[in-house]
Amino acid sequence: MTEAVLLSACRTAIGTARKGALREVSAFDLATVVVREAAQRSGLPPETIDDVVLGESLAGGGDIARYAALEAGLTHVPGLALNRHCASGLASVASAAASVRAGMDRAVIAGGTQSTSTAPVMRRRIPGTDDWQDPWSSPSHVSTPNAPHDDMSILVGWNTARLLGISREEMDAWALRSHERAVRAVDEGRFAGEIIPVKVVGRDGSASVFDVDEHPRRDTSMAKLAALKALHPEIEGFSITAGNSSGVNDGAAAVLVADAALAAERGLTPLATIRSWASVGVDPVETGLAPIRAIRKALDRAGLDVADVDVFEVNEAFAAVAVATTHELGLDPERVNPFGSGCSLGHPIATTGARMVTTLAHELRRRGGGAAVAAMCAGGGMGAALVLTA
């Protein structure tokens, strides 16, 4: 079985939805930018690329991957749109790696795209009636009071904090550290090698270039975070706030996954090797705990232990998820989310998994090698993890 390697990994800077720099840029245009760049950076001739697999969420269905392939000039390449909620981007990379390792494809572009700013609003006719439910979102599970399918602050954030006894102060402290680390990473130019400048045309016709993550807050503090109101004050003890939750964001990311033999034939040096991946399901009430199982499963498949991993990113869908995963797996907090994550960088839903892989691959190159793990939860009681080595 051949190895699956990354020949390129790139992303847009992350915008703040509805009021940020990418608010006028569609998920389709964002996808085209990263697909084109992933192909160009790989060093492979376009005709060697076999497929494009992109995570999408809230984009209204259709095949956004085929759209991006065509717009990027890859007319001969089909496309697959994939939805695993928050883990869509990570699942797309895993899907590409599986096809390469199986010998079915030799080069696949994979990633995710998200424009919450321009996402369509759906409605449906209620079965058995002539009434319409508006707005409507496709459920991942049957809602219950403890696990509503359309309120992640309860499903993920509050349940995780409640089940493991994580305090408001712990979550706020994690969120503050996330912002501090993200701001430091931006200032040090840590993301410069992975970010593609995006030309943005405003409503007034003015053009600008967006190339710096805009969601991290430089002015936050424990006092400011503590002053934020709970999102559900009617629930006794509810401790989830906008401050210890992920952002609502726009952005896209893509990697090129290739057969290691193809890379060698072309004289190309990979960024990293995809060693293993895993997806798991749990009771929806325990959605925020799913990364714990996913990480264990992925590391076991790679023949590694947590002590072998140099850097983790556990997506901060809510700070509670990263705190819980760190505690339960006994991780060194210094090795977890060293450049921030969802609370600070933001969480463009379908993009985040691919963005994490992109950031970790570039970090392994800076370090001269090592092992990294990207992990996250996903709505409906799911979790995913992927292991990189270099």
- Mind telling me the catalytic residues? 86, 347, 377
First to last CA, the chain: 18
- For the chain, where are the alpha helices, taking DSSP H only? 27-42, 64-71, 88-101, 152, 159-164, 168-187, 222-227, 260-265, 290-302, 319-329, 352-367
Q: How, if at all, do strands 371-378 and 311-314 pair?
A: parallel
DSSP-derived letter for residue 132 is: E
Measured in residues, the chain has a length of 390
CA 181 – CA 41 distance, rounded (Å) = 28
- Three-state SS at 251: strand
What are the backbone dihedrals phi and psi of residue 369, each rounded to the nearest 5 degrees, phi first?
Answer: 130, 180
Tokens 């040096």 identify what position?
269
- Three-state SS at 358: helix
Task: Output the CA angle 310-152-123, nearest 5 degrees.
Answer: 130
CA 376 – CA 44 distance, rounded (Å) = 31
CA 42 to chain centroid: 21
Report in angstroms the alpha-carbon separations of 380 from 147, 187, 190, 274, 386: 9, 37, 34, 26, 19
The enclosing H or E element of 104 equals none
In sign, the C-alpha dihedral spanning 238, 239, 243, 244 is: negative
